[in-house]
Amino acid sequence: MPTIKLVNVSKRFSKGSLAVDNLNMEIKDGEFVSLLGPSGCGKTTTLRMIAGLETPSEGEIYFDDTCVFSDEKGINVSPDKRDIGFLFQNYALWPHMTVRKNISFGLENMKWPKERIEERVDEICQTMRIEEYKDRYPAELSGGQQQRVAIARTLAPNPKVLLMDEPLSNLDAKLRNDMRAELKRLHLTTGSTFVYVTHDQSEAMTLSTKVALIKNGLLQQYCPPLQLYGEPENVFCADFMGNPSMNFVNCHGKKQGDRIVLSTRSFECEFTPNDKIDVPQESEYVLGIRPEFVNITEDGLEATVISSLPSGMETTLSLAVDDITLAAVAFGSVDFAMDSKVRFNFSGNRYVLFDGASQNKLSLGSLKVIK
Ligand SMILES: Nc1ncnc2c1ncn2[C@@H]1O[C@H](COP(=O)(O)OP(=O)(O)OP(=O)(O)O)[C@@H](O)[C@H]1O
Ligand SMILES: [Mg+2]
């Protein structure tokens, strides 16, 4: 399986600004990489450039040591020579062909021997758990079954790289969940490299070995999903990952030895960075607090419950501390009366301090309430 490398890749469409802005990333053999970001950020364009369906304006793309695109060297290897499978959002199956034929058709075009085709169709139908539908037509299948046929068809020729553009977006929530599990299993059993486009952070979180979070054509962070969640490089990344979202509190900070005393509109606390950081004597900051790190306790700061949404396993709370609102998560089957008073505290060292001006992460650290 190849490693895919993008070097200074940009794409400018004739009208408009840069759809992809100087992208550098390496997708290693066997990885499951998600391209994640808001609508219009350049995910599909990036995937299509890897596939060879879109020509970059600048840069180079490598599959291992083979250059498949270079504007300077005038190289542009056609999509059919890149050994990739491509699964679009609208996975059009041939309506007049059975499942079996839908899958074998491409292999016949590639001039596979007849027996090998039969063998492969059986094999892939087993993997995708669609054996019993082989002689049906697409119209006789549910959405999820059709989706599995589409994936089977894409996987049949054993592509080394599988590119998928929001393949689950047409499915209902339950099916989408089942298919997610299926895709993850498939990734492990095929050993292929998956590049997966989604705008759904939880999908990227749960499936990928690495997530590339993109904003306006610019790569913001490229790392394993839990790292993206726990150590976001900037406020955008922090805000994009997680539901309920991270709390952001603007504050003024004064350095006090290794610590920073942070004054918010309603409370004061002391931030101790996990690693030494170099900050001015006084500065503006944004403090990032994940809802699960707002702990409802006996002591601590008082807050008013604005809303309480129990889901059985956990309860999402909205708390007002004077004029600051904080989302909190309480684990277990608990509920809180609206307008009741609770107390909360901070614990652990996973609070994130961002620079107020650049919105970039300065450090993770622990937080102690002063008043
Ligand atoms: N053929 C085209 N001609 C001109 N502009 C285009 C073309 N294709 C895409 N764009 C622009 O490039 C930018 C990136 O588009 P792209 O389709 O890659 O976004 P995306 O991240 O896949 O979004 P979505 O989540 O909505 O699918 C957008 O601003 C879009 O309008
Ligand atoms: Mg898209």
pLDDT at 1: 66
DSSP string for 84-147: EEEE-SS----TTS-HHHHHHHHHHHTT--HHHHHHHHHHHHHHTT-GGGTTS-GGGS-HHHHH
Are 178 and 221 contained in the same domain? yes
pLDDT range class, residue 175, cuts 50, 70, 90: confident
User: What's the confidence (pLDDT) of residue 143?
Assistant: 80
pLDDT at res. 208 = 96
pTM (two decimals): 0.90
Nearest CA residue ID for atom 20, ligand 1: 40
> Between the CA of residue 318 and those of 13, 236, 242, 356, what are the distances in Å?
44, 21, 16, 24
Domain assignment of residue 239, yes or no: no
Q: What is the pLDDT of residues 26-40, one digit of tens each?
A: 999 999 999 999 999
Any idea what the CATH number is for the domain that residue 352 is in? 2.40.50.140
Residue 291 above 70 pLDDT?
yes
Q: Are 338 and 307 in contact (CB under 8 A)?
A: yes
Same domain flag for 12 and 70: yes
Is residue 175 domain-shared with residue 257, that is, in the same domain? Answer: no
Is residue 250 in some structural domain? yes
Stated length of the chain: 371
The CATH number that applies at residue 173 is 3.40.50.300
Label residue 90 by pLDDT band (50, 70, 90): low
pLDDT at 89 over 70: no
For residue range 305-358, what is the model confidence (pLDDT) as tens digits?
A: 999 999 999 999 999 999 899 999 999 999 999 999 999 999 999 999 999 999
Tokens representing residue 215 in the block: 């904003």
pLDDT of residue 75: 95
Determine if ligand 1 sits within 6 Å of the CB of residue 40.
Answer: yes
**Residue 177 pLDDT > 90, yes or no?**
no
For a mutational test of ligand 1's pocket, the pick from 44, 197, 214, 240, i.e. the residue with the most ligand atoms closer than 8 A to its C-beta, is: 44
Note the helical H segments in 128-224.
143-155, 173-190, 201-207
Ligand 1, atom 6: nearest CA belongs to which residue? Answer: 13
Do 230 and 269 lie in a common domain?
no
- CA count, 13 A, side-chain hemisphere, 160: 15
219: nearest Cα among 12, 21, 11, 55: 21
Q: Are residues 264 and 172 in the same domain?
A: no
Domain range spanning residue 344?
Answer: 244-369
Q: Whose CA is nearest to atom 5 of ligand 1?
A: 13
- Identify the nearest ligand to the CA of 57 by its number: 1
